Chains A and B, each alone.
Chain A
């Protein structure tokens, strides 16, 4: 570990020595919100309560170290229940070879699907108040490794179809950003085209072998037997004039000697139409678990949000919406939420 740190320190120093001081920018995001459940129960069966809350306090830095090397770092302060904690969400060093081939190393958002790479921890940039179930963060009830530490190659805008790709290998489930508990690396591939300006079609795939007794980030529980995970994803994104549509489907297959193959489905769709400073939108979010699987807390969900975004300032938005549907453990749910998100 010390050797790796020394390597990166020397590499950074060499780049800076060669090119003088880097062009560096520090920015951040924050948000605050209010939830008013009108019906629905929490996981203990008690009625849900209204609450104010602060969201993630996100700080990020981008730095152009040289003509070809750049750095992006993102650190988030957040509350885990009652305790505040600090999470290093992304640390990426990138080498730009040309438009079609770039190499990156560090901790990333796993290049699965569209949403997980378009929207990170700043709620300002995200069109809705919350991330869809499929791409929720691992420690917030997520179902996939949305962060991965490893090496990736990426390229965009290739040929007449505007082909783009990401191929990544990294520490898989059961690992941390500084070590892995097995030699089997996760593999992620994402391929996309934009044949017509504003219309993007893509597909992605993830594979990892989870070693027996690995602690998963999803339930903070151990996987009893070695499990092979395959995730298949398809997405369609339309951004034409004032219209924005994002829809994604995920199929998560886990295979092991104890359970055989279990299969989970997730789908979400978002559509918004901007009229001056107001964007009314609708979001549909669906998650269906295979009850045999022990990797997740099975809680099928089916929720729809009808809401709007209002631009308070160039880097501040107010979002509000009415959410309704049902969850397996909480029963029928409906409630209203409001959020102010900003960048600085």
Chain B
């Protein structure tokens, strides 16, 4: 009986461990400049802003995009979550949008801290960083949550 319970317990522990190993790396947070009126948006709206199909905030001011280096781990995470592609494919997609004249050329920074700092100081700007790297910048809620 004891052996049976031990076996079941071991199986449950193994199952939980394997599930944890597939859990995503740290979540992402959307940081916006204090001037941005859209402090609460849906995932669909976030994608529309980041992909350049919406270029104006709800008060009709201009959306400025900033990204962490697309080849970095967080850059790839952002690409997967927003564009459904790898970081380098996202980089090409952004270049294509600028080349089509749909968006102004976005800014890229090597670190999340630089992204957060730029967002804090530049009106109309939005960026995405790791949940722990917002560096005091204003967080926007996505589907009512601080991270996704």
Contacts and interface: CB of A to CB of B under 8 A. Distances in A.
B100 A157 contact: no
Nearest to B44: A197
Q: How large is the interface on B (under 10, 10 to 19, 20 to 34, 35 or more residues)?
A: 20 to 34
Contact of B91 (A27, A92, A118, A315): A315
Contacts of B88: 311, 314
Interface stretch (A9-17, A94-102, A137-145): A94-102
A300 interface: no
Interface in B68-87: 70-71, 84-87
Contact of A62 (B56, B86, B92, B104): B104
A64 interface: yes
A25 B97 CA distance: 14
B55 A125 contact: no
Interface string B38-67: 000000100110000111100011100000
What is the size category of the interface that chain A forms with chain B? 35 or more
Contacts of B55: 96, 99
Given A62-B99, A117-B100, 10 more contacts: A23-B104, A72-B101, A92-B101, A124-B92, A125-B92, A162-B53, A240-B84, A274-B86, A311-B88, A314-B71
A120 B110 CA distance: 29
Contact of A64 (B71, B99, B104): B104
Contacts, number: 72
Contacts of B91: 314-315
A88 to B, nearest CB: 15
6 contacts: A23-B105, A27-B98, A62-B99, A62-B104, A125-B99, A156-B53
Contacts of A124: 92
Nearest to B83: A239
Contact of B100 (A118, A197, A198, A240): A118
A235 B79 CA distance: 26
Given A120-B100, A343-B95, A241 B56 contact: no
Contacts of B101: 62, 70, 72, 92, 94, 104
Contacts of B86: 274, 276
Given A62-B101, A314-B88, A98 B95 contact: no
Contacts of A164: 53
Interface in B18-53: 44, 47-48, 53
A217 interface: no
A104 B71 CA distance: 34
B105 A25 contact: yes
Contacts of A87: none
Contact of A67 (B61, B84, B95): B61
A70 B92 contact: no
A227 to B, nearest CB: 31
A165 interface: no
Contacts of B98: 25, 27, 62
Contact of A70 (B95, B99, B104): B104
A64 B65 CA distance: 13
Given A67-B62, A124-B92, A314-B70, A157 B104 contact: no
